[in-house]
Structure formats: structure tokens, C-alpha cells
Amino acid sequence: MMSSVNHLMLEILMSSNLRNTDINPAVSSVLEDINEHFTDCTYDISPAIEQTGYSKNHFRKLFHDAVGCSPIEFINNRRIEFAKRLLWEKQGDISIKDAALQSGFTDAYYFSRLFKKRENISPSEYQKKVMQTSNASPQKQ
């Protein structure tokens, strides 16, 4: 639960261009890079980590201490959140595969596994739930 809260707080900080003075500047720099490129399926975090001057292992520890998860987990979480938003905004007009690809995943099966592990519901179940919720809403025209 705390990891989710930390993730949400960092996402808000990074998206609003505010700076948290408690976060190592190297971690902050990599977070900015991730937020700019996470939907790119060819995105490689290694160059951003190399620019920090830290070894990959040491940087992973710094990142985990600041964010509560590894850089790869953070990227996957950002991608899943983005996919959820796509599934919500484009209800019925986007396939699970397209949502996965637009979110930066190259493999829809891998995306589905990660989604279910993180959300405790499959992407297709989530999509059905979203459609049921919006159909029951009086705001939907």
C-alpha cells in the first residue's frame, strides 16, 4: 500500500514539475526521463542511469529507497496506469492489445500478466467493469 502511495506522490510531483528536495537529484533526473519516454516500447533506461554516474546496482538501491520499487517496476506501473486510462477513455474502441502497445509494452500477453498481478483483475475484466460502470452512469450520453 505504501509503495502505491509513494508511486502516486512521485507521479504527481513529476507531472507537475515540482521538485521534492528529499529525492536524490539523480533519481529525479531518471524519473523525468521515464515520464517522458515510458510509452516508447524501445525505451532503455540504461543511458539515463549511466548519466547519473552511479553503478546500475547502486542506482537501483537509491531509486528503490526513494520510490519504493525498482526502476523497471516503476516503468511497468506507469505503463499499466496509462493503459488503464486508455481503456477508460476509449471504452470499447480499443483492444487490450492496442492498449498494451500504446502503453509501451511489446507483448500483450506479458502486459496482461503484469496487469493481473498488479490490479488483481485481468485487462479484459477491467475493460468490462469500466464499460458497465459508464453504462450505469447517468452522465454517459
**Residue 130: its pLDDT value, please?**
84
More confident residue, 2 or 133: 133
pTM: 0.80
pLDDT band at residue 22 using 50, 70 and 90 as cut-offs: confident
Q: What is the pLDDT of residues 40-66, one digit of tens each?
A: 999 999 999 999 999 999 999 999 999
Nearest to 112 by CA among 104, 100, 101, 102: 100
33, 48 contact by CB (below 8 A): yes
